[in-house]
Amino acid sequence: MPDVPSLFRLDGRVAFVAGAASGIGIAAAEGLAAAGAFTICTDINGPGAEKAATGIRAQGGQAESFALDITDLAAVAQAFLAMEKKHRQIHAVVATPAVNIRKRLLDYTAADFDKVLRLNLAGGFHVLQAAGRHMLAKKSGSIILFSSMRAVTVEPGQSIYATTKAGLIQMVRGLASELGPAGVRVNCIAPGVVESPLTAPIKSQPEWYRAYANRNALNRWATAGEMAGPVVFLASDASSYVTGAVLFVDGGWTAIDGRFAPPV
């Protein structure tokens, strides 16, 4: 029989998390550290990243931090070179940062468009490229990007955000096909409605908040902490034959038709 619990352990491995200062990013960092990984917490908010690392160390984990803007291609590339020099190998890479400007497509400005694509899509590309080059040379590793259920389902005001999240999936699939022969795995997690700084404007409006909760099969929002398990799964040997996949962690949002329950 396989030693299933050990498949989820990350002892002796190094994990990198972009976006670790808050929300899903800090939950991912804490989950990876709890599974035994030395966790590198990064964020454009440097003090926030260090606070996350300090929290991990306070719980007996191993972590360090530095400030990183993933929209800066040169900075991301340099960060991976520095991490390789210090740690020799990065075994798991997770990127969570995203921005959402809720506007109807006809109201979007060029500046709005550029802002959303620059972080969500270009930032993801920068991480994929730098992590991919590092892991290709090492012939192993797991890269995890955060897409969204909005990659496959949309509503008014979400067109551009949804476009970026769908684009991330195709980049991940493409890189998975290119790096698979080298033993490198690349996957996406697609959350549903998660309580985080990104969704704070919705939570502040009770009717909107309840409507989203009632839309999924579990009739509730997810906590950011509920994303930690899927991250650890994809980073660990438990998912050793999983690549090019999209793991929907959406409470059944994309599985059901709507809010009406027919009398069957």
Count how many domains the chain has.
1
Q: Is the pLDDT reported for residue 264 higher than 90? A: no
256 located within any domain: no
263 located within any domain: no
Q: Is the pLDDT reported for residue 177 higher than 90? A: yes
Q: What is the CATH number of the domain that holds 25?
A: 3.40.50.720
- What pLDDT was estimated at residue 8? 97
For the question of residue 209 being annotated catalytic, the response is no
Active-site annotation holder among 161, 209, 212, 241 = 161
257 located within any domain: no
- What pLDDT was estimated at residue 262? 66
Quickly list DSSP for the chain: ---HHHHT--TT-EEEEETTTSHHHHHHHHHHHHTT-EEEEEESSHHHHHHHHHHHHHTT-EEEEEE--TT-HHHHHHHHHHHHHHHS---EEEE---------GGG--HHHHHHHHIIIIIIHHHHHHHHHHHHHHHT-EEEEEE--GGGT---TT-HHHHHHHHHHHHHHHHHHHHHGGGTEEEEEEEE-SEESGGGHHHHTSHHHHHHHHHHSTTSSPEEGGGGHHHHHHHHSGGGTT--S-EEEESTTGGGS--S-----
Q: Is the pLDDT reported for residue 255 higher than 90? A: yes
Question: Which range marks the domain in which residue 144 is found?
Answer: 4-250
Q: Is the pLDDT reported for residue 51 higher than 90? A: yes
Percent of the chain topping pLDDT 90:
88
261 located within any domain: no
58 located within any domain: yes
Please tell me the pTM assigned to this model.
Answer: 0.95
Q: Is the pLDDT reported for residue 197 higher than 90? A: no
